[in-house]
Amino acid sequence: MAQLSLDDTRALAHTILRHHGFSEDQAAAIADTMAAGQRDECASHGLYRLLGCIATLKAGKAVADAQPETHDVAPALLKVDAKGGFSPLAFRRGLSPALEKARQNGLAAFAINHCVHFSALWVEIEEITAAGMVALACTPSHAWVAPAGGSNPLFGTNPFAFGWPRAGQLPFVFDFATSAIARGEIELHRREGKPVPPGWGIDDKGQPTTDAAAILAGAMLTFGGHKGSALSAMIELIAGPLIGDFTSAESRAWDNGAGALPYHGELIIILDPRRFLGAQAEEHLARAEPLFAAMAQNGRLPSQRRYEARQRSLAQGITLPDALYRDLLALLD
C-alpha cells in the first residue's frame, strides 16, 4: 500500500489533471472533490476516479477548460450550464447565488446542466449544511441498472443525498445510490478480482451472479426491489426532463460506446430553516437532536463511518493499493 498525506493526495490529483490539459479552475475543483472522497475512505469516489476522468477526456466526452455559465431563471430557481465540463466547478460557481436565493425565499432549486459527473453528492451537501441549510440532491447516470423485475439496463445508479445542519456537530448526511451499490464499488471488486455479494447485479442473460465483470457486462439491480426502482424513476424525471437534461438511457446513448463517465444534469434543493421558522428556528432545530440520539440504538448514524475515517486520515494520511498508485503515476507519462 502507498501512503500519502492529504496534501499529497490533492496535489497528485491536481498534477495529473493539469498534465492532461484541464484548466486550473477545473483541476482545482475536481481535485478537491476527489481528495474529500479519499480522505473519508470512500475509495470508489476518490483518486480511482482519475482513471475515468482522463479516459473520458481522451474519448472526447468532456471539455477540459469549460467555463460554467450561471442563469438566474426565477426568484427561487438557478441553473448552471457546465458547458460539457465536470460537475464540481459548476457546483462551485452556483453555490453562493443558490444559497442567497434560499435565504431570500426560504428555498431554492439549483440545477446543473450538461455536466460530466463522477462525484459523491455528500461532498456538495456538506457545503450547503455548513451554511446552516437543509439540502437534497439527486442525479441520474448511465443506464446500468435494470428496473424491478427486468433484466435490461434502464436506470442509472441514480444517487440521492440529504443533509441536515447540527449546531456544534457534524451534519446528519446520507448519500446512497438507488442501485444496490455504487458502480464504482463493483469496478473496484473487478480490479481486485473479488466476488461481490449476492443481490448487486445480474449477468447479460439476466441470471444472478457474484462476478463483478459479469455484472458490468449485464445489469446492476436496485436496492429494495420495486421501492428502489420507483425512487430511481423519480430521480430520472426530476433530474432529467424536469431540468431539461438527459435521462440515464439518453446519457448512455450519447456515450455511444466510448466508455466515458456519465453526461447529464443534477438537481439540488436548498431549504433555509430560518425562513421557515423565524425566531423559533433554533428551538425547532434542537428538537431534532433527541431523534438522532434515539436513532443510534447501539448502531451508528449515516456518515458516522465517514467522519471517523476523516479523523484517521487527518491524523495518518491515506493509503492506496499499489496497483492503483502505479496506474495513477502512469497517467503522468
| Biggest CA pair distance of the chain | 59
C-alpha R_g of the chain? 20
C-alpha dihedral over 255, 86, 159, 274, to 10 degrees? Answer: -150
Per the annotation, the verdict on 44 as an active-site residue is yes
Round to whole Å and give the CA distance between 203 and 56.
Answer: 25
Round to whole Å and give the CA distance between 136 and 270.
Answer: 7
Round to whole Å and give the CA distance between 145 and 219.
Answer: 5
Record the cell numbers describing residue 264, joined without a space: 447529464
Round to whole Å and give the CA distance between 230 and 207.
Answer: 22
> Which one is catalytic: 14, 45, 117, 189?
45
> Which one is catalytic: 14, 44, 232, 266?
44
Per the annotation, the verdict on 69 as an active-site residue is no
Phi, psi dihedral angles at 185 (to 5 degrees):
-65, -40
Helix (H, G, I), strand (E, B) or coil at 263: strand
> Which one is catalytic: 185, 236, 250, 266?
185
Q: What are the residues whose beta carbons fall under 8 Å from the beta carbon of 178, sequence distance 6 or more?
A: 145, 155, 157, 158, 159, 160, 222, 223, 228, 229, 231, 232, 235
Which runs of E-coded beta strand occur in the chain? Answer: 2-4, 69-74, 77-81, 107-116, 134-138, 145-146, 160-166, 169-176, 201-202, 219-221, 263-271, 318-320
Per the annotation, the verdict on 192 as an active-site residue is no
Record the cell numbers describing residue 50, joined without a space: 482519475
Task: Provide the annotated active-site residues.
Answer: 44-45, 185
